Amino acid sequence: MDDKRAQVLLEQFRAEIESLGLAVTGDGYVRWDKQSPAHPRNWTARRKAYDIGVIIFLEFFTTAISAAGTPASEQARYEYGIGRTFAIFSFTSMYLLGQCLGAVLFPSYSETFGRKPLYTLSSILYCIFCVMIAGVPNFAAVIIGRFITGVLSSVPTVIIAGSIEDMFDTEDRIWMVFLWAVIANLGLVLGPITSTYITYSFGWRWVFHIAAIVMTVVFVLSLGIKESRPSLLLERRVAILRKSTGNISFRIRNPDYVPDFKSFIHSSLIRPLHLLFTEPIVLLVTIMSAVTFGVIYFFAEALPVVYSSFGFTERQASLAFIPIGIGLGGGVFIRLYDRRVLQRRRQQNKPLEPEDKLVGFAIAAPVLAISLWFFAWTVPPLVPHVHWLVSMSALVLAGFAANEFDCTLAGYLSDSYTIYAASAYAGLSLLRTFACAAFPLFAHEMYAGLGSNVASSILATVATVFCICPVVFLKYGKRIREASQFARYSLAVYRDNRLEEDGDEVDEVGKQMEDASRVVSLEKDDGARSLDEAAGVVPLADTFRTVSMEEGEGVMPTAEKSG
């Protein structure tokens, strides 16, 4: 079939294509029309607000329950006759180790089969296992229940970055990532406080009874959200197009295609780890985020030791997390600056680079170091006469810095790896949850043995080393990204499907995708097979042929098998 005949056929089906909110690119692929109301970027504000609200609340609450484990374990250890360290491991570390497993399993599933099923199923299962933890009078049930709820809690943790990228453009993501970070980190702050008060007032089991009740409500709300993965929605629309036209030749660029379940298992296990250990940006961001959030879980054990020297009870000591929560809101001023940078770039008709949104990180890194040094030398035993409010003011700065690390670094991964944001964030979540699981196990002994001043100084030293990282990213980040075949491929696919104001069709995007995909491969068996080749993706214009009467009724456009 010659090109002229292919164009005639394309014109023949143009009405059906446009009615579905689709378009055909110059090289013959079907893609989203930029004005299509079915694309998640073009959903109504009410639709987006509902969906992202449910998802962010799910992340907030499961994060709070993760941090609630340490206070609950303090009372439960007496009931079960176990030691402090084993109790913390069972209630907190097992939960976070479960998140490690989920961080590897779920992102690729969501990118291939969709986000909504995971959000909905994880909510109801989380509820069931919370009931088991609270109701079964057996410590094995606690260990199993905390591990499985940890696995389930990784769903919002590692997928929400992808959901935000699905629904919001660059300017909106500045605020949505910030909102997500603030609310999720607020869960880290409120979890220990609420758990301490519930445990001392009603018993530790009521922490999980209440969790089950709340998650039942979340499950019901999650039934109302919509699938947001654009490539999956596009594939569904193209399936409708094929059925309505009788033409099976329509093709899309779908980087999420997997030919069989074995390939899915391979990619789901390999893709996050591949990004983590081969992409310098992902690795550096992951290490910094892991240590920073490990410190927050570390404080759940350390702050009671520190403030007991001021005469605080355990309930009062849990309130030391409030200054950290206050600090979370400080990033709003940096988001306003980010927005101005974006507007200035658009006025200059220049693209916004991921590094342009690292100002918050550049500020937060030295602030974190300063706050930890300040905290270290304003508490007993070596500094016994300074009021406790002074050290708590340092925790405000630490809260600001931790939130900026989370917000800007998660946004940096999202902007750098676009369509694979969930997989990039999965590697981060994997190592971060492992650090959060490990740090509380030695926090009490470290602070009790070394003293609060020396122990806090060790944390401050590590934070000081991190101060060099913003310089590296701001100066060399773009060069590192340009050297990454995976980042280039992600950007090319993103450009081919973007709907933003600066997203006019790029003539060379098809070539960029093909060039990049040739060198991007997660397969180890047949050498460097491109993702397009693995998916069997063929341009529409190249798939038409004339079939005989025996093959079909009359002359019909049909598809050759590809690869």
**Segment 301-321, tens digit of pLDDT:** 999 999 999 999 989 999 999
Supply the angle between the helices 170-202 and 205-222 in degrees, to the nearest 10: 150
Q: What are the angstrom distances between the C-alpha of 41 and each of 139, 236, 499, 501?
A: 47, 17, 7, 12
Number of domains in the chain: 1
Return the pLDDT at 135: 96
Residue 239 structure tokens: 């399936």
What pLDDT does residue 504 have?
39
Instruction: Return the pLDDT at 549.
Output: 27
Q: Is residue 174 part of a domain?
A: yes
Determine phi and psi for 32, rounding to 5 degrees.
Answer: -70, 140
What is the H or E stretch that residue 64 is in?
Answer: helix 45-67
DSSP helix/strand/coil, 30:
strand
3 state SS of 513: helix
Q: What span, in angstroms and rounded, lies between the C-alpha atoms of 310 and 316? A: 10
Element (H, E) at 210: helix 205-222
Residue 11 lies in a domain: no
CATH number at residue 404: 1.20.1250.20
Spatial distance between the Cα atoms of 531 and 489, rounded to a whole number of angstroms: 9
Where in the sequence is the domain holding 199, given as residue range(s)? 40-228+266-485
Please state whether the peptide bond connecting residue 304 to the residue before it is cis, i.e. omega within 30 degrees of 0: no
Low-confidence ranges of the chain (pLDDT < 70): 1-10, 26-27, 255-259, 266-268, 422, 493-563
Burial annotation 267-286 (CB, 10 A radius, 16+ → b, else e): bbebbbebbbeebebbbbbb
Q: What whole-number distance in Å separates Cα of residue 75 and Cα of residue 199?
A: 7
By the 8 A CB rule, do 62 and 157 touch? yes
Residue 301 lies in a domain: yes
- What tokens appear for 391 in the block? 């050290």
Return the number of other C-beta atoms located less than 10 Å from residue 71's C-beta: 29
Alpha carbons 233 and 409: distance in angstroms, whole number: 28
Please enumerate in sequence order all residues whose Cβ is within 8 A of that of 500, keeping only pairs 6 or more positions apart, or say none.
41, 169, 170
- pLDDT attached to residue 255: 65
Q: Is residue 2 part of a domain?
A: no
Residues in the chain: 563
Q: Which residue has the tokens 């995909």?
A: 517
User: Cα 243–245–248 angle (5° rounding)?
Assistant: 65
Give the Cα-Cα-Cα angle 424, 425, 431 (nearest 5 degrees): 105
Burial of 378 from C-beta contacts in 10 A (0-12 / 13-18 / 19+): buried
- ∠ CA 340-344-346, nearest 5°, is 120
pLDDT given at position 213: 98
Q: How far apart are alpha carbons 221 and 228 in whole angstroms?
A: 16
Find the helix or strand (DSSP H, E) in which 31 lies: strand 30-32
Task: Assess if residue 219 is contained within a domain.
Answer: yes
Per DSSP, the three-state class of 353 is: coil
**CA distances, 524 to each of 73, 266, 514 (Å):** 45, 10, 19
pLDDT at 559: 32
Which pLDDT does position 126 carry in this prediction? 98
Strands (E), 63-113: none
